[in-house]
Amino acid sequence: MKCINKFLPVLLAVCLLTGCGRSLPFPYSENKTDVSYRLFAKTSGNSDIAQSYASSLCVVDETDSFGTPIESQALSLGLFDLSRIHTIYAENVYAQVYPASLTKVMTALIALKYSTPETVLTASSNIYNLEAGAQTCGLAAGDTMTVDQALRLLLIYSANDVAIMIAENIGGSVEGFLSMMNTEATRIGATGTNFINSSGLNDSEHYSTAYDLYLIFQEAMKYDLFSEIINMSSYSTVYHDLSGGEKHIEVKSTDWYLRGEVAAPSGVTVIGGKTGTTNAAGHCLILLSRDVSGKPYISVVMGASDNRTLYESMNSLLQRIPN
């Protein structure tokens, strides 16, 4: 494994070496092994370029050994040590899969980067354009709330109507926001990702990888508000309808660790993260945790068959954190 430093010029080199702009394979089709960060990890002759690509990131090479494989029915698993810049465990982390609501981490990142917490958002009638059964917080056209409120409902409760409202207001349109999402993904090296919506609801062309989601999550952690929100087990607020009337809402986290329904292994403290579930994606979870010394780790599980498998797989990863 080699840790490498990212800068824009190298993205051009990646395009030359890997063929940027080629169509990506259908999600779940195969485990990708030729994306840019793997290329640089394996190319000893490009040490100067590699060092300029991403000193704060860890790259998983096919020759890496992670000890005894974790027994799990999940599609992808990854555990990344942020203080040592070291990958503790990786399994199928370059496989392109449906990310479900882990997509909302990127939605939050764009909102944090291109607006302020005090920015007021207004819901349009497009918030009703959701598939049956999609989780919402019950927004109505004309409702208003701040970005701060919206991000809490987005990340804590995974409200899909809020994801649409954020996209339309900050991107000017959903299409404009998606362009911002995909541009940001490319900028941070998430080259195995393509976003079609801001919510993570299923679309055959909407996919990511466990490794890309680690990159996106780490980028979002640069914002204190993001780190604050993912640690919250519940949230209540008051926003306003079209006439200025108050609307009260109270939600609980979708994260079973924060809800107290699952305990982390001894010596590990779960700070928080983001869940995601669709029929196509299965059950997914990305977390920030800390060891007994307070050192941070990001862990990812994608494509578990049910919540029991999801949290068992996540605890198997967290057990690999050194005590």
Look up residue 89 and give its two tokens. Answer: 């465990």
Q: Which domains does the chain have, with CATH numbers?
A: 3-69 (no CATH), 101-209+225-253 (3.40.710.10)
d(C-alpha 276, C-alpha 74), whole Å? 13
Please provide residue 20's backbone torsions phi and psi, each rounded to the nearest 5 degrees.
-60, 145
Picking from 311, 312, 181, 196, the residue whose alpha carbon sits closest to that of residue 254 is: 311
Picking from 294, 295, 291, 284, the residue whose alpha carbon sits closest to that of residue 78 is: 284
Tracing tokens 């006439």 back to the chain, one arrives at 243
Q: By the 8 A CB rule, do 286 and 214 touch?
A: yes
Output the pTM of the full model.
Answer: 0.84
**pLDDT, tens digit (0-9, with 9 covering 90-100), for 1-10:** 434 443 334 3
User: What pLDDT score does 61 carry?
Assistant: 73
Q: What is the mean pLDDT of each run of 10 residues along the chain (323 residues)?
A: 40 38 35 36 36 62 75 94 95 96 98 98 96 94 98 98 98 98 97 97 96 98 98 98 98 97 98 97 98 97 97 97 90
Residues 6+ apart with CB under 8 A from 304: 72, 73, 74, 75, 282, 283, 284, 285, 310, 313
Distances (CA, A) of 47 to 17, 39, 87: 15, 12, 19
- Secondary element (H or E) of residue 250: strand 246-252
d(C-alpha 128, C-alpha 161), whole Å? 7
User: What pLDDT score does 65 carry?
Assistant: 67
The letter for the amino acid at 292 is: V
DSSP string, 103-168: HHHHHHHHHHHHS-TT-EEE--GGGG---TT-------TT-EEEHHHHHHHHHHS--HHHHHHHHH
Residues 6+ apart with CB under 8 A from 52: 4, 5, 6, 7, 9, 10
User: What pLDDT score does 59 carry?
Assistant: 75
The strand order across the sheet containing 269-278 reads: 86-91, 76-81, 296-304, 282-290, 269-278
Picking from 225, 197, 209, the residue whose alpha carbon sits closest to that of residue 111 is: 225
**pLDDT, tens digit (0-9, with 9 covering 90-100), for 213-229:** 999 999 999 999 999 99
User: What pLDDT score does 151 carry?
Assistant: 98
- Secondary element (H or E) of residue 80: strand 76-81
**pLDDT, tens digit (0-9, with 9 covering 90-100), for 225-276:** 999 999 999 999 999 999 999 999 999 999 999 999 999 999 999 999 999 9
